[in-house]
């Protein structure tokens, strides 16, 4: 029982991180109708920038590497993501107003190749470390109830906490502020939103900035855990089934979906994995999403697609 | 355009529905084939064959598979690499495990296997559309990756997952040098293009029923339940056709490039099919002359490959912007116009 709970908790915490990236997808989709395939590349790009600037900034300024330098690197990387957002709007989205979803998807596919290539040209191809002072040591809790206590990874716990706070903030921003409402209007219909005076271009820059920041946070958390390397893009790809499971248009769906996928992955890996040779984490989430789609094509919380004849 | 259809009148249905209704097109294609079969082997050196022309032929064939699914049936797929892998490993196993299996037959059987798997993964397309389906196809991608890595029977217990076959021959013709491999790949081209044009565009009913949803006539089609059901059956048929096409590209990729990994090759499809225009199969391979050779050659140096990917991705975006709506048929010249 104790072991099962451990698996469950670590799954929940991993799931929170998936939710964070999934939220990036959902927000962009809700706000601009773009299914942002470049989210994974953005995570990698942001993490690379953060890791390298944390190395370069102290060297340029001639100061000791410190938390201050790390914070400065975070700010610089954030600014870089703003530039990326601005460029994406300027060079790509502006020219694709009112196109259908598939076109925009293809465009983000292109953006992701460009970001991956440019990122590794600018920042290098190796594995880099990000040190934001996350505690690495595990702790035991609830010794009194279970024999030997439950093993909890402190790093995961803090990461899940950060993700939770960010998810909360973003939900508030998109539901309660005027800008958030403008974003939802744009999502419904580009042309209609434009005609009532919503500045489409500025809105898109905002959305992509938010997605950039989400990518940066996710990249930093994952980067400090696994090291910054190319495989970060595939970790972000695992957030795709989360979105599908939860429904593309639903913020709570992204959160619940993330938790389900996180737990499902860990539990299946531990209990089912040994039977089929292990490593099933890679595809489990996708198969789960596939099965859900067969019964609920719009995901668990998505809006039902109704086509009138 | 350099020439037009004006004045070329047809007097029979057969003439009207032929693959190349315009005389200039027919001559251009004949010229191109002559060039590819006769002139290229005389002009080109070994490196060019190995590094550019063979990958170009193979991957453009794969792009055609995507073309069928995305361009004609409107089903966005991101799992092309998966079906290439299935076809490739299936053909390999037929070839190696069955004594005296002819190469061509094993290629066909590999295609059939991929078609069956394609039908299986095509089931969600009965209920799901658009972006949801796109992600569902990724399931195939990740699943096959895992299968071929973990179940070593498929790769004949090869540690790296990379397999190769020696002594390839078709009816006594040894396929052992770059020139013969090039010619072998090339010989598939005309036949495949012909077959699929026939099926897709005009000749068979299945071609007709697969097209309307792509053209935006979804609703009319679904207003008749029977027609809707027919379409769905066909969409499955087409997803199996598409995967057959992928697989035939897949096993050639593995036989001739000497290695195959389904995951890595998935990345190459985005850039290579978009500029070609999804609705016209000629687009996908003509365009590869321009873009495909950039992104699909395999430069020895990793860094150079990165730059190639940037080129591919960048050109994808540029082409999209130029024409606006690629998946519904944008191409610089060749795709038909969308809305």
Please state whether A98 falls in left (phi above 0), alpha (psi between -120 and 50) or beta: left
Cβ proximity of A284 and A242 under 8 Å = no
Cβ proximity of A236 and A218 under 8 Å = yes
How far B75 CA sits from the closest chain A CA (Å)? Answer: 10
Which of A38, A93, A109, A254 has the most B C-beta neighbours within 10 Å, making it the best mutation to test the interface with B? A109
For A27-47, how does the pLDDT look when each residue is reduced to its tens digit (9 = 90+)? 778 777 778 888 888 888 998
Which pair of structure tokens corresponds to residue B298? 């395999």
Which of B70, B121, B132 has the most A C-beta neighbours within 10 Å, making it the best mutation to test the interface with A? B132
| Strand partners for A128 | A228
Band of residue A83 on the pLDDT scale cut at 50, 70, 90: very high
- The alpha carbon torsion through A175, A243, A211, B270 (nearest 10 deg) reads -140
Whether A53 has a pLDDT exceeding 60, the answer reads yes
**Chain B residue nearest residue A245, CA to CA:** B132
Angstrom CA distances, A283 to A8, A265, B140, stand at 19, 9, 9
Q: B303–A100: do the CB atoms touch at under 8 Å?
A: no
Q: B313–A92: do the CB atoms touch at under 8 Å?
A: no
How far B235 CA sits from the closest chain A CA (Å)? Answer: 16
Average pLDDT over every residue of A199-212: 84
**Chain B residue nearest residue A110, CA to CA:** B313
- Distance separating alpha carbons of residues A299 and A302, to the nearest angstrom: 5
Which pair of structure tokens corresponds to residue A297? 């094509």
**Chain A residue nearest residue B132, CA to CA:** A244
DSSP string, B169-232: EETTEE--SHHHHHHHHHHHHHHHHHHHHIIIIISSHHHHHHHHHHTT-HHHHHTSHHHHHHHH
Say what the pLDDT of residue A290 is: 80
Average pLDDT over every residue of A226-234: 78
Q: Show residues of chain A in contact with B142, CB under 8 Å.
A: 282-283, 286
Say what the pLDDT of residue A16 is: 84
DSSP label at residue B51: I
Q: A114–B314: do the CB atoms touch at under 8 Å?
A: yes
Band of residue B65 on the pLDDT scale cut at 50, 70, 90: low
- Distance separating alpha carbons of residues B242 and B246, to the nearest angstrom: 6
- Distance separating alpha carbons of residues A81 and A103, to the nearest angstrom: 23
Q: Show residues of chain B in contact with A100, CB under 8 Å.
A: 325, 327-328
| Strand partners for A140 | A151
How far B335 CA sits from the closest chain A CA (Å)? Answer: 14
How far B268 CA sits from the closest chain A CA (Å)? Answer: 10
Residue that is written with structure tokens 């934001």 in the block: A132
Q: How remote is the C-alpha of B101 from its chain's centroid?
A: 25
What ipTM was estimated for this complex? 0.74
Q: B139–A297: do the CB atoms touch at under 8 Å?
A: no
Q: Show residues of chain A in contact with B275, CB under 8 Å.
A: none
Cβ proximity of B61 and B249 under 8 Å = yes
Query: What is the rounded average pLDDT for all residues in chain A?
Result: 80
Q: B312–A113: do the CB atoms touch at under 8 Å?
A: yes
- Closest by Cβ to A117, choosing from B307, B317, B320: B307
Average pLDDT over every residue of B307-318: 52
Query: What is the rounded average pLDDT for all residues in chain B?
Result: 60
Q: A106–B149: do the CB atoms touch at under 8 Å?
A: no
Which pair of structure tokens corresponds to residue A133? 């002072």
Q: Write phi, then psi, for B118 (nearest 5 degrees).
A: -60, -40
Q: Show residues of chain A in contact with B132, CB under 8 Å.
A: 244, 248, 293, 297-299
- Domain map (residue ranges) of chain B: 53-261, 267-339
How far A117 CA sits from the closest chain B CA (Å)? Answer: 5
- Distance separating alpha carbons of residues B206 and B211, to the nearest angstrom: 9
Q: Which residue has the higher pLDDT, A105 or B311?
A: A105
How far B232 CA sits from the closest chain A CA (Å)? Answer: 15
- In chain A the beta strands, taken as DSSP E runs, fall at 138-141, 150-153
Say what the pLDDT of residue A305 is: 59
- Domain map (residue ranges) of chain A: 2-237
DSSP label at residue A307: -
- Closest by Cβ to B317, choosing from A107, A289, A309: A107
Band of residue B330 on the pLDDT scale cut at 50, 70, 90: very low
- Distance separating alpha carbons of residues A152 and A154, to the nearest angstrom: 6
Say what the pLDDT of residue A79 is: 93
Average pLDDT over every residue of A228-236: 77
Say what the pLDDT of residue B126 is: 66
- Closest by Cβ to B306, choosing from A117, A243, A289: A117
Angle at A307 between CA A306 and CA A308, to 5 degrees: 115
Angle at B27 between CA B22 and CA B31, to 5 degrees: 150
- Distance separating alpha carbons of residues B285 and B71, to the nearest angstrom: 14
Query: What pairing do the DSSP bridges indicate for beta strands A138-141 and B169-170?
Result: unpaired
At A151 the three-state DSSP class reads: strand
Q: Show residues of chain A in contact with B314, CB under 8 Å.
A: 110, 113-114
Tell if the pTM clears 0.90, that is, is over it: no
Of the candidates B214, B195, B199, which has an alpha carbon nearest to the alpha carbon of residue B279? B214
- Distance separating alpha carbons of residues B182 and B53, to the nearest angstrom: 7
Residue that is written with structure tokens 């709506």 in the block: B325
Angstrom CA distances, A17 to A43, A90, A222, A300, stand at 12, 30, 9, 19
Say what the pLDDT of residue B273 is: 36
Angle at A181 between CA A176 and CA A184, to 5 degrees: 125
Of the candidates A16, A18, A39, which has an alpha carbon nearest to the alpha carbon of residue A207? A39
Compute the count of residue pairs across chains A and B with CB atoms less than 8 Å apart. Answer: 152
- Distance separating alpha carbons of residues A185 and A290, to the nearest angstrom: 30
How far B152 CA sits from the closest chain A CA (Å)? Answer: 11
Which of B69, B120, B123, B128 has the most A C-beta neighbours within 10 Å, making it the best mutation to test the interface with A? B128
Of the candidates B53, B81, B80, which has an alpha carbon nearest to the alpha carbon of residue B67? B80
Comparing A104-113, B118-127, B149-158, B290-299, the range with the smallest average pLDDT is B290-299
Q: Show residues of chain A in contact with B291, CB under 8 Å.
A: none
Band of residue B284 on the pLDDT scale cut at 50, 70, 90: very low
DSSP string, B218-271: HHHHHTSHHHHHHHHHHHHHHHHHHHHHHHHHHHHHHHHHS---HHHHHTTHHH
Which of A106, A120, A300 has the most B C-beta neighbours within 10 Å, making it the best mutation to test the interface with B? A106
Q: Show residues of chain B in contact with A114, CB under 8 Å.
A: 310, 313-314, 317
How far B130 CA sits from the closest chain A CA (Å)? Answer: 7
Say what the pLDDT of residue A78 is: 92
């Amino acid at each position: 029982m104790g072991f099962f709970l451990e698996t469950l908790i670590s799954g929940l915490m991993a799931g929170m991180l998936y939710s964070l990236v999934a939220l990036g997808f959902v927000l962009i989709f809700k706000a601009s109708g773009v299914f942002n395939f470049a989210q994974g590349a953005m995570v990698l790009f942001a993490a690379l920038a953060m890791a390298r600037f944390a190395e370069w900034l102290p060297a340029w300024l001639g100061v000791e590497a410190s938390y201050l330098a790390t914070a400065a690197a975070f700010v610089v990387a954030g600014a870089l993501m703003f530039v990326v957002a601005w460029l994406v709007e300027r060079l790509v989205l502006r020219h694709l107003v009112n196109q259908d979803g598939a076109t925009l998807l293809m465009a983000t596919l292109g953006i992701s190749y460009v970001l991956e290539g440019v990122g590794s040209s600018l920042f290098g191809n190796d594995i880099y470390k990000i040190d934001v002072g996350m505690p690495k040591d595990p702790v035991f809790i609830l010794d009194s109830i279970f024999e030997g206590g439950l093993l909890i990874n402190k790093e995961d716990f803090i990461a899940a906490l950060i993700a939770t706070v960010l998810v909360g903030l973003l939900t508030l921003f998109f539901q309660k502020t005027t800008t958030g409402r403008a974003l939802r209007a744009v999502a419904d219909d580009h042309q209609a939103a434009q005609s009532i005076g919503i500045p489409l271009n500025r809105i898109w820059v905002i959305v992509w900035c938010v997605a950039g920041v989400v990518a940066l946070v996710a990249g930093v958390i994952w980067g400090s855990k696994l090291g910054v390397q190319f495989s970060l893009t595939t970790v972000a790809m695992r957030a795709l089934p989360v979105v599908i499971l939860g429904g593309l248009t639903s913020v709570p769906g992204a959160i619940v979906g993330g938790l389900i996928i996180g737990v499902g992955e860990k539990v299946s890996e531990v209990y089912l994995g040994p039977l089929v040779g292990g490593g099933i984490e890679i595809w489990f989430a996708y198969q789960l999403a596939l099965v859900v789609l067969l019964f609920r094509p719009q995901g668990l919380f998505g809006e039902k697609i109704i086509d009138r004849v | 355009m350099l020439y037009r259809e004006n004045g070329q009148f047809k007097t029979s249905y057969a003439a009207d529905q032929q693959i190349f209704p315009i005389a200039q097109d027919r001559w251009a294609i004949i010229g191109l084939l002559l060039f590819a079969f006769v002139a290229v082997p005389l002009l080109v050196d070994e490196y060019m064959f190995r590094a550019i022309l063979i990958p170009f032929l193979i991957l453009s064939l794969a792009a055609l598979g995507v073309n069928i699914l995305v361009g004609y049936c409107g089903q966005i797929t991101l799992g092309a690499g998966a079906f290439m892998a299935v076809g490739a490993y299936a053909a390999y196993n037929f070839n190696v495990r069955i004594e005296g299996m002819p190469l061509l037959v094993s290629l066909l059987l590999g295609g059939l296997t991929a078609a069956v798997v394609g039908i299986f993964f095509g089931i969600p397309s009965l209920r799901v559309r658009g972006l949801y389906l796109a992600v569902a196809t990724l399931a195939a991608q990740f699943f096959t990756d895992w299968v071929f890595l973990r179940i070593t029977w498929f790769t004949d217990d090869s540690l790296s997952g990379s397999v190769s076959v020696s002594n390839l021959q078709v009816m006594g013709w040894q396929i052992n040098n770059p020139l013969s491999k090039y010619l072998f790949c090339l010989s598939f081209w005309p036949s495949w293009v012909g077959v699929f044009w026939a099926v897709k565009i005009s000749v068979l009913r299945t071609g007709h029923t697969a097209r309307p949803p792509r053209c935006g006539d979804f609703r009319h089609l679904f207003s008749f339940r029977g027609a809707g059901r027919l379409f769905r059956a066909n969409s499955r048929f087409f997803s199996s056709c598409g995967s057959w096409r992928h697989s035939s590209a897949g096993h050639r990729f593995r036989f001739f490039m000497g290695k195959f990994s389904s995951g890595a090759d998935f990345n190459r499809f985005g850039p290579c099919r978009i500029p070609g225009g999804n609705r016209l199969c000629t687009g996908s391979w003509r365009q590869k002359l321009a873009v495909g050779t950039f992104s699909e050659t395999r430069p020895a140096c990793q860094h150079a490959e990165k730059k190639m990917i940037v080129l591919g991705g960048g050109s994808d975006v540029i082409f999209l912007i130029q024409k606006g709506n690629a998946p519904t048929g944008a191409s610089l010249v060749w795709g038909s116009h969308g809305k």
